[in-house]
Amino acid sequence: MNALYRILKYAAILLWSAFVIAPFLWALTTSFKTANGITGGPTYIPWLQYRPSLQGWRDLFHSGGGGIQIAGPYLSSLIVTISASLVSLVLGTLAAYGLSRFTYRAGFVRNADITFFFISQRIMPPVVLAIPFFLMLQFLHLLDTKIGLIIVYIALLMPIAVWVMVDFFNTVPRELDQSAMLDGCSPFETFWRVVLPNSKPGLVVAGLFCLIFGWNDFFFAFTLTFTQTQLLPVAIVSLNSSVTPWWSLSAAALVSVAPLIAVAFVLERYLSRGSLAGTIK
Amino acid sequence: MSGDRSKMLFISPGLIVLVAIILFPLLFTIRVSFSDWDVARPGLDWIGATNYLRLAHDARFWESFGRLALMAVGSVLLQYLLGFGLALLVWREVRARRFFRVLFLIPMMTTPVIMAVIWRTMFHESLGPVNDLVRLLGFAPLPWLSQSGLAMTSIIIVEVWQWTPFMFLMLLAGLMSLPREPFLAAAIDGAGPVRTFLRVTFPMMAPISIGAIIIRLIEASKILDSVYVITSGGPGTATETSSYYIFIRGLRDFQVGYAAALSFTYLVIMAISLTIIAKVLARVMLVRDHAA
């Protein structure tokens, strides 16, 4: 009974692992194929089943004929994601600290309502915002620019930062603030010198979440940029046409999801230390 | 005085930025929905509720809600069951559990559209590995992307692949923060694993379960990227969700006024149905808590 249970348990774990890994392995093997290796039907093992080639990987560095010229979009994606995440983290952390420590009231509006207003922005479907954003950026002459995208992404990411940080600051003991105030610190000094240095786990998790959601957005980049600015997901999806170059597509996909796989390792470390349970509720 | 000023300093930058970026577009959308703005005549004229009357009779719009409900509820339910199962599996007493935890988290980190492009090649009828597996199991190859039921299944499979990790993460964090005493008490009472799960684990996990399901339903109700890449709403309109239909009307046909009316209606329906779902879920799952 117990042995059977153990076997079933590991079988389930391995089965799910196979499902998780399958697309990555498929992309990896496909990235070394040529058109011949693909039109012959599905094959998996290089040398045995098809003749491997570096064409797909070379195509990452030039344009035309299945090439994708990935460096430009990669850099744009990095700039936009990191800038928007930083701004969101700063604004979101300040607001979250305020919401966690002070009482705000304006008419019938209380702290909980303000927190809800921040977080509820995540409910807004992108498609509802797309047209107003389009017209707004057109009016500001920021269509098809990195700055325009950064502005839009700040609105998308700040709710995430507020959500994570309000929960986090609520777990930081208030005695910390009070003793700092007694030592004569102003509210801002208390926040900056005492609370913030003790908030690394929350900041890391909030920052990583912002990076993930920023890096992974497709829709806004797709509707608000055209030729001057191109982010990674848009560049890759544009390869997806009637005659898709599967090899360069696969290589490009692997290169662009790689940095976030590193993030999974960092997040797991926080999970193992148990600090994530307090951060995510 | 100075305390009041500094508390405003904390909250106002974020609040002002968010209001400026989000609230204006929302109000603008409502105004545009009462106009006839399109490619030929861009501008804010006033045509009353014409757009709303038109959408009331737009069968394609209402059908898209049915598909969205099927897709969202189906995939989120699967994600919850699988995510909970996986979290229980690697919760304790498993070799290399940290390795498996990282592995199980990875799909949610990857860019949905990019992985959807890869999945699209995998579902390819003659050249993809999915049908290779189907053949290996002794069945005839399936037209994954060109038959309506299967196209829906394909999208749900990709959604489950991508987002089960989120459920897994939330539920594992929940499991790891549970107190030990109730488990000891159950063990002393001689409760088996099934009884312990039903009487102790599940009730204690109910609040976090509700939270995780709601968050996922909210995200799933916006589904658009993967539909765009995998099936483009096809075959026909078989996998066209509400977001995708609005996208077609607004950003393909550029019927801005009509798309704004669709958007606003969609937003209101989503807000109402998600609130109802949240209330019902809380009642169903927390009642068990009191019974136990």
Task: Tell me the whole-structure pTM to 2 decimals.
Answer: 0.90
**Does the CB of B104 have a partner CB in chain A at under 8 Å?**
yes
B11, B28, B111 member nearest A257 (Cβ)? B111
A 10 A CB-CB count for A215 gives: 25
The predicted-structure confidence for B84-125, as pLDDT tens digits, reads as follows: 999 998 887 667 778 888 899 899 999 999 999 999 999 998
State the complex-level ipTM.
0.90
Lowest mean pLDDT among A64-73, A123-132, B270-279: A64-73
Residues B121-178: pLDDT tens digits? Answer: 999 988 899 999 999 999 999 999 999 999 999 999 999 999 999 999 889 888 988 8
Amino acid identity, residue B279? Answer: K
pLDDT in tens, A225-276: 988 889 999 998 888 776 788 888 999 999 999 988 888 888 777 766 654 4
Residue B273: is its pLDDT beyond 60? yes
Chain B: closest CA distance from residue A100 (Å): 10
Question: Is the CB of residue B98 less than 8 Å from the CB of residue A272?
Answer: yes
| Residue A241 tokens, joined | 């046409």
Q: How many CB atoms lie within 10 A of CB B39?
A: 9
Q: What is the mean pLDDT of residues A172-190?
A: 87
Residue B3: predicted pLDDT: 60
Q: How many Å apart are CA A37 and CA A48, to the nearest integer?
A: 11
Enumerate the H helices of B90-201 as residue ranges. Answer: 97-109, 112-122, 129-136, 148-176, 181-188, 193-196
Best of B21, B79, B89, B134 to substitute, by most chain A Cβ atoms within 10 angstroms, is B21
- The pLDDT confidence band at residue B292, using thresholds 50, 70 and 90, is very low
Domain ranges of chain B: 59-112+150-291
CA distance B283 to B278: 9
Output the CA torsion sign for B111, B113, B115, B117. Answer: negative
Please tell me the CATH code under which domain B59-112+150-291 is placed. Answer: 1.10.3720.10
Would you tell me which residues 31-60 of chain B have a C-beta closer than 8 angstroms to some C-beta of chain A?
Answer: 32
Strand-strand pairing, A67-68 and A63-64: antiparallel
The residue whose two tokens read 């829906």 is: B152
- Rounded average pLDDT over A112-120: 87
Mean pLDDT (whole number) for B256-279: 91
Alpha helices in chain A (DSSP H): 2-30, 35-39, 55-58, 71-101, 111-120, 126-139, 146-171, 174-182, 187-189, 200-216, 219-224, 232-237, 246-272, 275-279
| Angstrom distance (rounded) from CA B114 to CA A259 | 14
Q: Which residues on chain B are in Cβ contact (under 8 Å) with A151?
A: 21
Write the burial class of residue A151 (CB in 10 Å: 0-12 exposed, 13-18 middle, 19+ buried): buried
Q: Which residues of A202-213 are buried (b: 16+ CB within 10 A; e: fewer)?
A: bbbbbbbbbbbb
Which residues of chain A neighbour B224 with C-beta distances below 8 Å?
A: 125-127, 219
Residues 224-283 of B with CB under 8 A from A: 224-225, 229, 243-244, 246-247, 250-251, 256, 259-260, 263-264, 266-267, 270-271, 274
CA separation (Å) from A114 to A108, A110, B107? 11, 6, 33
CATH superfamily for A70-279 is MetI-like (1.10.3720.10)
Q: What is the DSSP letter of A197?
A: G
Q: Residue B53: what residue type?
A: L
Closest CA of chain A from B6, distance in Å: 7
Beta strands in chain B (DSSP E): none
Backbone phi, psi, residue A63, to 5°: -105, 165
Kindly indicate the confidence band of residue A65, based on its pLDDT and cuts at 50, 70 and 90.
low
Residue with tokens 């900056």: A192
Residues 52-81 of A with CB under 8 A from B: none
Sequence ranges of the domains in chain A? 2-64, 70-279
What pLDDT was estimated at residue A43?
Answer: 84
To the nearest 5 percent, what fractions of chain B are helix, strand and coil?
Answer: 75, 0, 25
| Alpha carbons B117 and B121: distance in angstroms, whole number | 7
CA separation for the pair B190, B155 (Å, rounded): 44
Which residues in chain A touch residue B170, judged by CB atoms under 8 angstroms apart? 280
Q: Which residues of A touch B250 (CB under 8 A)?
A: 127, 130-131
